[in-house]
């Protein structure tokens, strides 16, 4: 079958190119799987995809006339891909300065159905052609029409240039300002700055001054440690030009810039002496004084700043920020005398804010840990008041455990049943499923009273995942993408699917699935996983029977399986736990080097790798060797085995150590005793480490269900019919309605 597919594709391409020079023969199809799928497409379309590839190569090599010829041939033979052929043609004609031909070509892109991913790029090219041709008026009309499809800040810069061309300098100034102030780190900001100098000189007193909000926005977008000095320059320049609350805010943020650049002492001195009238600016000032005092270990200064915030800015979000910052640090220091009152104040004063859920959960869990008299009421209150929070499933689990301790097994079962259905792909669902294997819970019938209480909670609506059977729109895109992939145009192929996922308004899962299959087909399982995470971000809300098994295996792949199994077996480790750890550490990218200088699949530091390698007789391990999958897994499994041994086989502790270091894991262990490992997980004070443990153990459970037997231990896929789709359209930028 494969040989037949290749033969048919080759013969169709020869037919399409028989009148063209032999030196421009198209590349052979790179994906046999796609070749088989493409047999259902017209042979001319298959060959035309190859012609598009040749046209692109001609364009890239500077043979613009040749690119036009091949693009014309492709366009005439494959209407389904005409936008790709015509966009290549438009680029070539632009280089040849045949601007009228550019306009003709992009019209085909604009009229493509389904909407082409190339519309924005084609519109930008056409506008540049009109500007280069000294025809700014049609360029202005064109960009008004396609403004929302051209990426920013390119759209605003082109619009400003068109307004300049037609002599509307005030409007040009506005859009140049949008670029300069709104995108300070973009290359276009320099072009806008240069243009503004010229426009300002021409307009004189009629030049529209930038809005204070825009000036502060530019400084804010420069607010990170690398650009803090630039932010200070912008703020200092803005202060004389703004007044009122904006001026107060700019003055406060001069000190914030010092804090962000690591000059906490300067920031503390400046902000302490600063007096401002605007209430929110003053609240921000006090909040950063709290941050400065903490960084400088001046803990005695923190309380007065918090009291000032409570007295003068009780409901400000800056007070909330300061409270949580201090409380979280006190949790790291295991200082309940500090963090419990602060979390309580947060939950009471900001009950309607999303962050209040975190504060309330810390109070509720602490009471549960200590067998507090109010633990039961607090756990129920968390479910009732914060059912859509990240910790609602935690509350369900520990409410069930509390009911077990009270010997109310029917109520416990009701909690676990809801947890394992509503939050199926979570750590606490995994633990709850294990709890329900207890004979007493197996025999119990869920309590009607508890079920009624749980049903009354304002749970977030569970998303109904769309069908994996592509509708008409999705199928059209998938077919186009497969033809492009067949011709070796991987970037264009994936761009088609990415565009569909972002713009079609439905069946993002279909596009994510197709992207993942394409990536896996070329051996890029790590990229396949990232495509699912990016374009089907809600996939973990699905029950396992709502997607094909292949989808789940792409979301939870095991590349390098032989190495993982071999080295896991040698270290007496569960290979599925190792795969779960690798998925979280590196997403199976063997060449990744993190910002912390950790290498490869299991993210080992070179110093750690060299020390571990001596056990295997390797005296001088070079860092690059850690980017070899087999060596990385060999050393990583040995390291994890040692951690597991040091913590008596307690996986949660070993994972905490792997993520945050042995000294911290040992410290957190000393905060016990813990009745179960789930209690240790909740006691971990680092958000990242707490989540890491939960995710790895959840991953391991999914891996076992998918791969431990000959047949995956997951429910059969419940297929849904393909939808009847209607393509969504974006609204035109409202500002442009006034320029019609």
Task: With CA atoms as reference, report the closest residue to 169 among 141, 211, 142, 197.
Answer: 197
Question: Cβ contacts of residue 565 below 8 Å, gap of 6+?
Answer: 575
Task: Decide which of 543 and 369 is more confident.
Answer: 369
Task: Find the range with the poorest average confidence among 89-93, 459-463, 695-699.
Answer: 459-463
Do 2-199 and 561-707 come out as alike in CATH topology? no
Task: Find the range with the poorest average confidence among 3-7, 300-304, 529-533, 708-712.
Answer: 3-7
Residues 476, 507 contacting (CB under 8 angstroms): no
Q: Which residues pair with 593 in a beta bridge?
A: 599
The pLDDT-based confidence of 53 (bands split at 50, 70, 90) is: very high
How far is residue 314's CA from residue 308's CA, in Å, rounded to a whole number?
A: 9
Q: What contacts 24+ positions apart, CB below 8 Å, involve 472-476?
A: 472/722, 472/724, 472/725, 473/114, 473/500, 473/504, 473/507, 473/725, 473/727, 474/500, 474/504, 474/507, 474/510, 474/511, 474/722, 474/725, 475/722, 476/80, 476/114
CATH of domain 354-462: 1.25.40.10
How many angstroms separate the Cα of 683 from the Cα of each of 328, 351, 561? 12, 23, 34
Task: Decide which of 728 and 229 is more confident.
Answer: 229
Q: Is the peptide bond before 673 cis (omega within 30 degrees of 0)?
A: yes
pLDDT for 142 beyond 90:
yes
85-96 average pLDDT score = 97
pLDDT for 78 beyond 90:
no
How far is residue 316's CA from residue 306's CA, in Å, rounded to a whole number?
A: 12
Average confidence score pLDDT of the chain = 90
- What angle, 0 to 180 degrees and rounded to 10, lies between the N-to-C axes of helices 561-570 and 575-586? 120
- 180-218 pLDDT, tens digit each: 999 999 999 999 999 999 999 999 999 999 988 899 899
Q: Give me the torsion for CA of 522, 526, 532, 534, rounded to 10°.
A: -120
Question: Cβ contacts of residue 659 below 8 Å, gap of 6+?
Answer: 688, 689, 692, 693
State residue 222's pLDDT score. 87
Would you call 530 exposed, middle or buried from its count of C-beta atoms within 10 A (0-12, 13-18, 19+)? Answer: middle
- 496-511 pLDDT, tens digit each: 999 999 999 889 999 9
pLDDT for 480 beyond 50:
yes
How far is residue 394's CA from residue 359's CA, in Å, rounded to a whole number?
A: 14
How many angstroms separate the Cα of 251 from the Cα of each of 233, 245, 277? 12, 10, 11
State residue 43's pLDDT score. 52
Task: With CA atoms as reference, report the closest residue to 484 among 38, 24, 49.
Answer: 49
- Terminal CA-CA length for the chain: 57
63-67 average pLDDT score = 97
Q: Is the peptide bond before 153 cis (omega within 30 degrees of 0)?
A: yes
Task: Decide which of 26 and 82 is more confident.
Answer: 82
State residue 79's pLDDT score. 85
How far is residue 421's CA from residue 436's CA, in Å, rounded to a whole number?
A: 13
Residues 667, 655 contacting (CB under 8 angstroms): no
Alpha helix locations (H) across 556-605? 561-570, 575-586
pLDDT for 259 beyond 70:
yes
- 108-128 pLDDT, tens digit each: 999 999 999 999 999 999 999
Triad 369, 374, 376: Cα angle to 5°: 75
pLDDT for 9 beyond 60:
no
State residue 45's pLDDT score. 53
State residue 229's pLDDT score. 84
- 587-613 pLDDT, tens digit each: 999 999 999 999 999 999 999 999 999
Task: With CA atoms as reference, report the closest residue to 44 among 88, 14, 1.
Answer: 14
pLDDT for 727 beyond 50:
no
State residue 680's pLDDT score. 98
Task: Decide which of 162 and 487 is more confident.
Answer: 162
How many angstroms separate the Cα of 323 from the Cα of each of 172, 282, 330? 45, 16, 11
Q: Which residues pair with 604 in a beta bridge?
A: 599
Tell me the CATH number of domain 2-199, given options 1.20.120.530, 3.40.50.720, 3.60.15.10, 1.25.40.10: 1.25.40.10
φ, ψ of residue 464 in degrees (nearest 5)? -90, 110
Question: Cβ contacts of residue 736 below 8 Å, gap of 6+?
Answer: 144, 147
Q: Taking the domains of the chain in order of start, what are their residue ranges?
A: 2-199, 211-350, 354-462, 472-555, 561-707
State residue 11's pLDDT score. 33
561-707 belongs to CATH 3.40.50.150: no
State residue 123's pLDDT score. 98
pLDDT for 447 beyond 80:
yes
The pLDDT-based confidence of 15 (bands split at 50, 70, 90) is: very low
φ, ψ of residue 42 in degrees (nearest 5)? -60, 140
Task: With CA atoms as reference, report the closest residue to 285 among 274, 295, 296, 294.
Answer: 274
State residue 292's pLDDT score. 97
Task: With CA atoms as reference, report the closest residue to 675 among 405, 438, 399, 437.
Answer: 405
The pLDDT-based confidence of 726 (bands split at 50, 70, 90) is: low
Question: What percent of the chain is predicted at pLDDT more than 90?
Answer: 81
> Which token pair is 446?
């869920």
Question: Cβ contacts of residue 692 below 8 Å, gap of 6+?
Answer: 584, 655, 659
What is the fold, at CATH topology level, of the domain defined by 211-350? 1.25.40
Residues marked active site are found at 585
Residues 34, 6 contacting (CB under 8 angstroms): no
The pLDDT-based confidence of 443 (bands split at 50, 70, 90) is: very high
Question: Cβ contacts of residue 690 below 8 Å, gap of 6+?
Answer: 681, 682, 684
223-245 average pLDDT score = 85
Task: Decide which of 538 and 35 is more confident.
Answer: 538
Residues 1, 36 contacting (CB under 8 angstroms): yes
How many angstroms separate the Cα of 227 from the Cα of each of 184, 191, 258, 486, 666? 11, 20, 11, 45, 38
Q: How many other C-beta atoms are found inside a 10 Å radius of the C-beta of residue 599?
A: 26
Q: Which residues pair with 599 in a beta bridge?
A: 593, 604
Residues 329, 302 contacting (CB under 8 angstroms): no
Q: How many other C-beta atoms are found inside a 10 Å radius of the C-beta of residue 675?
A: 11
pTM, entire model: 0.88
Task: With CA atoms as reference, report the closest residue to 429 among 463, 400, 461.
Answer: 400
pLDDT for 484 beyond 50:
yes
38-56 average pLDDT score = 69
State residue 166's pLDDT score. 97
State residue 19's pLDDT score. 33
- 216-227 pLDDT, tens digit each: 899 888 887 677
How far is residue 605's CA from residue 609's CA, in Å, rounded to a whole number?
A: 6
How far is residue 124's CA from residue 502's CA, in Å, rounded to a whole number?
A: 20
The pLDDT-based confidence of 541 (bands split at 50, 70, 90) is: confident
- 390-406 pLDDT, tens digit each: 999 999 999 999 999 99
How far is residue 714's CA from residue 422's CA, in Å, rounded to a whole number?
A: 17
**3-state DSSP assignment of residue 593:** strand
Task: Decide which of 679 and 50 is more confident.
Answer: 679
Alpha helix locations (H) across 571-725? 575-586, 606-613, 629-646, 651-660, 662-669, 677-683, 687-707
- 268-314 pLDDT, tens digit each: 999 999 999 999 999 999 999 999 999 999 989 999 999 999 999 99
């Amino acid at each position: 079958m494969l040989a037949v597919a290749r033969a048919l594709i080759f013969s169709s391409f020869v037919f399409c190119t028989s009148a063209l020079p032999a030196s421009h023969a198209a590349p052979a199809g790179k994906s046999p799987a796609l070749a088989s799928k493409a047999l259902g497409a017209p042979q001319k379309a298959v060959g035309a995809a190859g012609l598009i590839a040749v046209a692109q190569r001609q364009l890239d090599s500077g043979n613009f006339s040749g690119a036009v010829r091949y693009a014309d041939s492709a366009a005439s033979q494959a209407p389904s891909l005409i936008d790709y052929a015509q966009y290549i043609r438009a680029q070539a004609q632009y280089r040849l300065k045949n601007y009228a031909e550019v306009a003709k070509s992009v019209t085909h892109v604009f009229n493509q159905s389904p909407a082409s991913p190339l519309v924005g790029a084609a519109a930008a090219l056409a506008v540049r052609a009109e500007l280069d041709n000294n025809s700014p008026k049609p360029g202005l009309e064109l960009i008004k029409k396609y403004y929302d499809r051209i990426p920013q800040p390119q759209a605003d810069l082109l619009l400003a240039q068109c307004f300049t061309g037609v002599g509307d300098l005030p409007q040009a100034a506005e859009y140049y300002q949008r670029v300069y102030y709104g995108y300070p780190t973009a290359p276009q900001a320099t072009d806008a700055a240069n243009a503004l100098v010229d426009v300002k000189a021409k307009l004189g007193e009629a030049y529209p001054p930038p809005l204070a909000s825009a000036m502060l926005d530019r400084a804010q977008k420069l607010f990170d440690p690398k650009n803090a000095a630039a932010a200070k320059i912008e703020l200092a320049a803005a202060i004389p030009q703004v007044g009122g609350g904006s001026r107060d805010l700019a003055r406060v943020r001069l000190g914030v810039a010092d804090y962000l650049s690591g000059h906490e002492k300067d920031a503390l001195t400046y902000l302490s002496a600063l007096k401002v009238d605007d209430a929110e600016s003053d609240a921000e000032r006090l909040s950063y004084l709290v941050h400065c005092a903490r960084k400088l270990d001046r803990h005695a200064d923190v309380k007065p700043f918090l009291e000032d915030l409570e007295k003068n800015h009780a409901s400000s979000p800056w007070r909330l920020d300061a409270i949580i910052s201090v409380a979280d640090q006190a949790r790291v220091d295991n200082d309940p005398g500090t963090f419990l009152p602060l979390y309580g104040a947060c939950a009471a004063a900001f009950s309607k804010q999303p962050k209040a859920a975190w504060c309330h959960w810390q109070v509720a869990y602490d009471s549960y840990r200590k067998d507090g008299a109010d633990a039961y009421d607090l756990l129920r209150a968390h479910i009732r008041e914060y059912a859509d929070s990240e910790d609602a499933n935690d509350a369900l689990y520990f409410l069930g455990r509390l009911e077990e301790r009270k010997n109310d097994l029917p109520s416990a079962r009701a909690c676990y049943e809801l947890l394992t259905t509503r939050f199926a792909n979570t750590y606490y669902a995994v633990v709850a499923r294990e709890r329900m294997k207890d004979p007493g819970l197996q025999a119990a019938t869920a309590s009607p009273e508890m079920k009624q209480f749980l049903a009354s909670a304002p749970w977030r609506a569970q998303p109904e995942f769309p069908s994996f059977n592509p509708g008409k729109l999705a199928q059209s895109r998938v077919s186009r993408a497969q033809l492009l992939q067949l011709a070796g145009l991987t970037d264009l192929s994936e761009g088609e699917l990415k565009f569909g996922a972002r713009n079609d308004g439905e069946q993002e899962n279909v596009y994510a699935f197709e992207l993942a299959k394409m990536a896996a087909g070329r051996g890029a399982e790590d990229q396949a996983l990232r495509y699912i995470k990016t374009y089907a971000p809600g996939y973990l809300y699905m029950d396992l029977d709502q997607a094909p098994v292949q989808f789940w295996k792409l979301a939870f792949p095991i590349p390098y399986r032989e190495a993982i199994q071999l080295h896991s077996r040698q270290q007496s480790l569960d290979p599925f736990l190792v795969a779960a750890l690798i998925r979280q550490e590196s997403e199976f990218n063997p060449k990744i080097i993190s910002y912390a200088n950790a290498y490869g699949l299991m993210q080992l530091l070179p110093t750690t790798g060299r020390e571990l390698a001596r056990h295997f007789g390797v005296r001088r391990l070079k860092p690059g060797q850690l980017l070899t999958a087999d060596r990385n897994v060999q050393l990583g499994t040995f390291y994890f085995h040692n951690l597991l041994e040091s913590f008596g086989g307690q996986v949660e502790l070993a994972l905490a150590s792997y993520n945050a270091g042995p000294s911290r894991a040992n410290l957190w262990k000393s905060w016990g005793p813990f009745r179960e490992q789930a209690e240790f997980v909740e006691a971990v004070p680092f958000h990242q480490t707490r989540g890491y443990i939960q995710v790895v153990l959840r991953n391991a459970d999914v891996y076992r269900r998918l791969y431990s037997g000959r047949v995956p231990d997951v429910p059969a896929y419940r297929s849904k019919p393909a939808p009847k789709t209607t393509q969504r359209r974006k609204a035109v930028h409202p500002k442009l309605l006034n320029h019609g």
